[in-house]
Chains A and B, each alone.
Chain A
Amino acid sequence: MRSRRSDRAAAAGFLAPFLLLFTAFFALPIGYAVYQSLLAVERIGPLGLGGSRTVFAGLSNYRAALTDDAFLDSITRVLLYAVVQVPLMIGLATILALLLDAAAARGVPFFRSAYFLPYGVPGVIASILWGFLYVPGVSPIIDLLDAAGLTVNLLDSGSVLWSIANIVTWEFAGYNMLVIVAQLKAINSELYEAARIDGADAWQVIRHVKLPLIRPAIVLTTVFTIIGTLQLFAEPLVLRPTSTAINTSYTPNLAAYTQAFVNNNYSLAAAQSVILAVAACVLSFGFLRLVGRREDDR
């Protein structure tokens, strides 16, 4: 009895710091955003000089968000982006990890650091750097292509989304690779020996030993990437002034930012953020369920 009580005290002691921070920086802001998304402001006089009051508005902000073409376009845009970006990112990270893990690989520590290095560059800085490589007249890449007779515009409506995808891939492929490398390192080398004795070649080892065993790492990095793509923000924000194709609601996050800080409509911004959070939840848990079910089928 006594020991159970002290166990419980210990558990509470260990959990308290987490719960405190979780409440202060996660549950509270979400609760506040939900609360704010249900409010609206009424004003008296053309400049509100007659006073204003905050009233309960029900779901009208959600209705406004979901009937706004620009916001719906932004959701479609990030979904299209995710369909391309997630497989590309995970494929690249997996290939890089397998290359580094290959028996014949040379200079592994160097390449591992080199691939990982972009992750140390903040997204805003990365976007500024890549921005210089995208702007005509400043970019050496465009100059070289021009000299070769190819005129490209990396910032127009047809290409800018993929220019952004390039920045994001550059930034995060190395990080995802490292997660996969860590799991590859954890594979017991006896399994390779056994496979080799059974006559498996390098490809067969990858297909039948390595890939199944790094599945959890791939699932984890996929969920990270899904959430990351939906939350696309810094890259389009930084590239916006240089491009004629990034509008103020290019991604859902950018739309919420614009509503909150340019149009001072915090309630609509809160509604948009809640919608985005729900979408991210549905997609990442949906993905986890999907891969979980396949696991059970085996």
Chain B
Amino acid sequence: MRRTRGRWRGRTALLFGLVLAVVIAGCSSGSDPASTGESARKPGEKITLTFWSWVPGVDKAVDLWNSENPEVQVKLEKIPAGNSGGYAKMYSALEAGTGAPDLAQIEYQELPGFLLEGGLVDLAKYGAKDDAGKFVEWQWRQVAFGDGVYAIPQASGPMAFFYRQDLFSRWGIEPPKTWDEFRQAAQTIRAKDPKAYISTFPPGNAGWFAGLAWQAGAKWFGVEGDTWIVNINSPETRKVAEYWDGLVRDKLVKTDPDFQNGWYKDLQEGAIVGWVSAQWGDAILAGNAPQTAGKWRVAPIPQWDTGSFVSANWGGSTTAVLKGAKYPKEAKDFAVWLNTDPESVDLLIQGGYGWPAAKDALSGSALDKPYDFFGGQKINDVFAEADKAIDQDWTWIPTTAATYQHLGDGFQKAIAGQGTFVDAVEAAQVKTEADLKAKGLKVKAG
């Protein structure tokens, strides 16, 4: 008995050793710099590029490209929106080394993250710098890092205030010009209708909060040499956090999550009568609260100071070529076409993709028209003004997603009665510094 057990122990050890050997062999081969496998397309050769995106309407633009380019076909695969699982899918495909698409939808705030993981192809090698003049300058700056160009800009999200004009005028409220007036309007609405709120503070949506901080003059991130500067806990951000702390404390806004069934229901039923949001919000409202058509209007975003008009940006997206793409030149050409060709841009506008990154896209495009949903208002005149009033130097860090989580987790805690939004901002500062250090990067507080 003892003998056999001893033998088994020996075999187990042998097995374990084998396992370990295989594991280590597997790892070391995995960490080799992967050969890129790029090739140049021969004239007349037919190729297919895969493209992961979640933007509504992009399928029509892809169809248009495919009908015009029989040799370079694009196969669109719809994925969940970035932070809802789309990025996780891309990162795991990149980590696995197979299964990643040639092209992918990546938002501005996530580009440095993909860059850090070595997931993006430098398009400057394929002549992307010649395309710079076709795009709005600040959006181009969002995709250019060092000497490289790592994505083609698609759209941004200049912010304004959507509101229910019918209810506002019934209650005798003017659309608020300043954040003080916004608070007064919130109070009046609570007094006039116990079910109605001016808006929600979506605790899980730190991207929205970043937009508001951006408007207040905050600049969360910067680079000095090879060191990241983190300045989330700045007086500007704290001012915004304190302001919303006050609104929540006095029960002047809801604290339910946005983009959820409950929120859509509130929009449909007039329980939420306003939304500080980006230009692409028009399609969200029209698509999810169709019964309120004609009742909404758009006003400029409320101001902190009445002196000069300042807006902000929320969201914004690019088309990037991912590492491993076999035909990067063709992929880049498609990305440039998708985001600059007037017909393609019109199709994307109709889907509600945001504010075009292509230069001078407003006049004559699908944006330049009265909207029935907004009672015939030419809402994009408001957004055009907003677009001109955005601080253009904002940059993101490679761990933006984690920063969003820290803020979101802190906001949730505050709503559960543990601390304030200001505490959340302070915690996010400390944790973001730690995140960057954990990535092996240099960092200091701003």
Interfacial residues, chain A to chain B (CB-CB below 8 A) = 19, 23, 27-28, 31-32, 35-36, 40-49, 52, 54, 64, 70, 132, 135-138, 156-158, 240-249, 258, 261-266, 268
Contacts and interface: CB of A to CB of B under 8 A. Distances in A.
A54 B24 CA distance: 13
A49 B439 contact: no
B28 to A, nearest CB: 10
Contacts of B146: 47, 49
Given A28-B23, A47-B115, A242 B440 contact: no
Given A43-B116, A266-B95, A136 B257 contact: no
Q: Give the interface SS of chain B, mostly helix, strand, loop or mixed.
A: helix
Contacts of A41: 439-440
A242 B226 contact: no
A43 B23 contact: no
B39 interface: no
A120 to B, nearest CB: 25
A247 B16 contact: no
B27 A35 contact: yes
A247 B408 contact: yes
A244 B255 contact: yes
15 contacts: A23-B19, A28-B23, A40-B440, A41-B440, A43-B116, A138-B261, A241-B257, A243-B257, A244-B204, A244-B257, A245-B416, A247-B409, A262-B401, A263-B401, A268-B438
A261 B146 CA distance: 27
A157 B412 contact: yes
A3 B404 CA distance: 67
Nearest to A22: B15
Given A40-B440, A49-B146, A157-B416, A261 B91 contact: yes
Given A47-B398, A49-B146, A262 B88 contact: yes
Contacts of A243: 257
Given A27-B16, A45-B226, A265-B438, A135 B261 contact: yes
Nearest to A265: B438
Contacts of A44: 226
A16 to B, nearest CB: 12
B257 A48 contact: no
B13 interface: no
A13 to B, nearest CB: 15
A31 B23 contact: yes
Closest 6 CB pairs of A and B: A157-B416, A261-B88, A137-B265, A247-B409, A43-B440, A42-B440
Contacts of A249: 409
A17 to B, nearest CB: 15
Contacts of A265: 438-439
A47 B116 contact: yes
A244 B116 contact: no
Contacts of A246: 412
B113 A264 contact: yes
B91 A264 contact: yes
Contacts of B88: 261-262
B438 A64 contact: yes
Nearest to A54: B31
Given A137-B262, A157-B417, 5 more contacts: A32-B26, A48-B441, A249-B409, A262-B401, A268-B438
A28 B22 CA distance: 8
B349 to A, nearest CB: 27
A45 B255 CA distance: 40
A146 to B, nearest CB: 12
B99 to A, nearest CB: 14
Interface of B: 15-16, 19-20, 22-24, 26-27, 31, 84, 87-88, 91-92, 95, 112-113, 115-118, 145-146, 148, 203-204, 223, 226-228, 255-257, 259-262, 265-266, 269, 271, 398-399, 401-402, 405, 408-409, 412-413, 415-417, 435, 438-442
A296 B145 CA distance: 69
A46 B227 contact: yes
A245 B20 CA distance: 41
A207 to B, nearest CB: 41
Given A23-B19, A49-B145, A70 B261 contact: no
B23 A244 contact: no
Q: Which residue, A36, A44, A45, has most C-beta atoms of chain B within 10 A?
A: A45
Contacts of A46: 223, 226-228, 441-442
A26 B26 CA distance: 16
A47 B440 contact: no
A65 B438 CA distance: 12
Given A32-B26, A157-B416, A248-B409, A27 B19 contact: yes
Contacts of A27: 15-16, 19
A287 B2 CA distance: 29
A250 to B, nearest CB: 9
Contact of B412 (A23, A48, A137, A245): A245
B116 A48 contact: yes
A243 B261 CA distance: 11
A73 to B, nearest CB: 10
A46 B228 CA distance: 7
A138 B409 contact: no
A248 B23 CA distance: 30
Nearest to B402: A263
Nearest to B415: A244
Nearest to A267: B438
A138 B412 contact: no
A136 B204 contact: no
Contacts of B441: 43, 46, 48
A266 to B, nearest CB: 7
A48 B115 contact: yes
Contact of A135 (B20, B26, B260, B417): B260
Nearest to B269: A137
Given A28-B19, A43-B116, A48-B116, A70 B409 contact: yes
B106 to A, nearest CB: 14
B265 A244 contact: no
B224 to A, nearest CB: 9
Nearest to B229: A46
A144 to B, nearest CB: 16
A35 B24 contact: yes
Contacts of A132: 261
A54 B439 CA distance: 11
A40 B438 CA distance: 9
